[in-house]
Structure 1
């Protein structure tokens, strides 16, 4: 048991959708771990319920939201901001390991960054492992196309598939919980999906979130330098670049456009249990309506699509994010090529590695598609057909994509 807080305190961050089994996991850790834990419960309106469940069977002495459990552990309801809570715990309490249960409607990456960026928190704590608990049957249903996935709740109207993708993509360890409700084939499918979204994540099938505490509390799986580089779509993009190089010159498609991938990255398999990926790049903009139609008709076999699209008649970089049945587009900001010359030159001088085309500047489409048993040739052909033709170059377009920085538009919803 730790007697002081002069050294860095290890932290395990647990995420998962509502009902996945996070609280059951906390109870399991509290009853079976061979160390003293501090448990920070933060579940957006579920705090009181979760704190009561975590403390079930324990004597409580609640003071300012911090509950001393009979086994010497601590349960803290997040009544103020996270930073204040964890600093207070480190200063006032003695424990071996901090477990943070992030909100069921939030992603773990922002919580992890609090512990890794330059702050008073980072000086006190060291992130050990990012854990996502999946309700495995619900996870499979969210990507099956059968029925409508549930929403996350009133705080966020994005569908369940969005949440699940974001939580899995930044995980080091994924518990395939409720495995007893799944066939062997279903568990294999769930593992395939997890590895497609985050190739390096460890997966453990569990029933009632029962797992060896050392797999979560002393695993040392987290690398602070890679918290933004874990998703499978980024790996696929990097693989395409490594294999073919950014500056490869391509032939011309039927519309006369230069495409520096993918023909430049013809098929980039991630070959993880049958899951494959490919990267599509183009230096010609999309026709807004034809591209929106393509996104609305993405086959269910595509689990994840992510990247940046060049949309005709707007100078905004549009981020595309598809997760199962959900597709959203967000205006990230203007293309550097669209800025006034002085500002453009300043940006370019500060980014010497920025890929720049003589005619189009930084304007380009770069999209990653991940899935199983999809027809890549058909998807590529439809993307080609969605590009603006030479005859349409001077046409004014109106479409569903966002045109103001920060604006988000739902292209397809369950």
Structure 2
């Protein structure tokens, strides 16, 4: 049974897309699983209303999974429902709408789990993840990237312990997609749309980007594509490609001032100078000059918009511990990422010789694999100014 996973932030237009697809099934027998965090499943009610006008309503089934999230508390329920629908052989295609705060990778991983029915079967033997679609609200895209809000501030139904932020979640949803629908594009001219499309291409180098109005898209453009590959999805983020291949701007992204570059250095950052850099360009929630978990919120004022920064950092005084630098929109997180391999005895390295060779490739002189390697993706980034500022932070 081929499956489409539909993700997208709150209000992006996921339900509108589903209603459009149900109105244009072209004879395909569709089952639908919807997930809503709230007890009152408004999305499900809207879909039921949409089905009332369908002549083929007997060919469709709507399954509601509520009071939880299918990427965590309801993962087992999702597994059982997909298994049941696949075994029934009554449907040609399954549409799954995840909640607006779900991370699509966690839902996709459900398809690698064992089916808990005593058969020792795996879900992937009965259902195939065909396409991961992320719906993005064109009008809110940049505002959400620049937002300092947590998900809890946007949706009171979010658990109190969930400290994720809006920009991080949006980036996760965009990076994992096979198809990105740039929805609500009606009020944008061609140049504005092209700039947003170029930005999405830079964040996800593999996804197909389609501009839509009110979720209206040809079903064949997103159903039955066979585009999903977990291996490909894990390497699709633009920052990973930039780190592997070096910075590059394709002509269509360069035209709109969108690009990436990789900052590299083989000296550690001075803790005090790095802290000054953070306080100059970010508003710190928990200003700490070491690698304890801390959040830095704000934007790179004066550097223009850096949508995302990902990579590794080397901090003086913490020479055995790799630092993880992760920024999405207005939020920067810095924390420990595990030891550098230079600080680990070789007998504790992976046994696979190819893996060991890859580790050695990162070694250079006395520093071993300790380094600064940060990928910046954004709009009109002042590369020389940013490089100079980071160089000043080095020992």
Q: TM-score scaled to structure 1, two decimals?
A: 0.76
The reply on whether 1:25 has 2:17 as its aligned counterpart is yes
User: Take 1:159 and 1:109, find their aligned partners in 2: how far apart are those partners?
Assistant: 17
1:143-170 per-position Cα deviation (integer Å, ceiling 9, x unaligned): 4x5x755735334333322221111112
SS in 2 for 1:222: coil
| Structure 1 gap segments, 5+ residues each | 1-8, 60-68, 241-266, 389-414
Q: 1:353 to 1:340 in 2, by over 3 A?
A: closer
1:286 CA drift (Å): 1.3
1:341 CA drift (Å): 6.3
Aligned residues: 344
User: Take 1:75 and 1:289, find their aligned partners in 2: how far apart are those partners?
Assistant: 57
1:311-349 per-position Cα deviation (integer Å, ceiling 9, x unaligned): 222232222111121111232222222235643586989
Aligned to 2:289: none
The reply on whether 1:305 has 2:288 as its aligned counterpart is no
User: Take 2:181 and 2:325, find their aligned partners in 1: how far apart are those partners?
Assistant: 28
Greater helix fraction, Structure 1 or Structure 2: 2
1:149-207 per-position Cα deviation (integer Å, ceiling 9, x unaligned): 57353343333222211111121111111112334343222112111101232222212
The reply on whether 1:42 has 2:35 as its aligned counterpart is yes
User: Take 2:263 and 2:129, find their aligned partners in 1: how far apart are those partners?
Assistant: 35
SS in 2 for 1:228: helix
User: Take 1:366 and 1:323, find their aligned partners in 2: how far apart are those partners?
Assistant: 17
Give the one of 82, 89, 94 matched to 2:90.
94
- Once the two structures are superposed, the pairs formed by residues 11-410 of structure 1 within 5 Å of their partners are 11-34=3-26, 35-45=28-38, 48-58=41-51, 70-78=57-65, 80=74, 81=76, 82-92=78-88, 94-116=90-112, 120-143=122-145, 145=146, 151=151, 152-153=154-155, 154-155=158-159, 156-240=162-246, 268-274=248-254, 275-295=258-278, 297=281, 298=300, 299-314=303-318, 315-339=320-344, 342-343=347-348, 351-354=356-359, 355-388=362-395
SS in 2 for 1:269: coil
Q: TM-score scaled to structure 2, two decimals?
A: 0.79
1:220 CA drift (Å): 2.2
Query: Does the aligned pair in 1 maintain the 2:13–2:215 contact within 8 Å?
Result: yes
| Structure 2 gap segments, 5+ residues each | 67-73, 115-120, 282-299
1:135 CA drift (Å): 1.1
Query: Does the aligned pair in 2 maintain the 1:87–1:120 contact within 8 Å?
Result: no
User: Take 1:349 and 1:13, find their aligned partners in 2: how far apart are those partners?
Assistant: 35
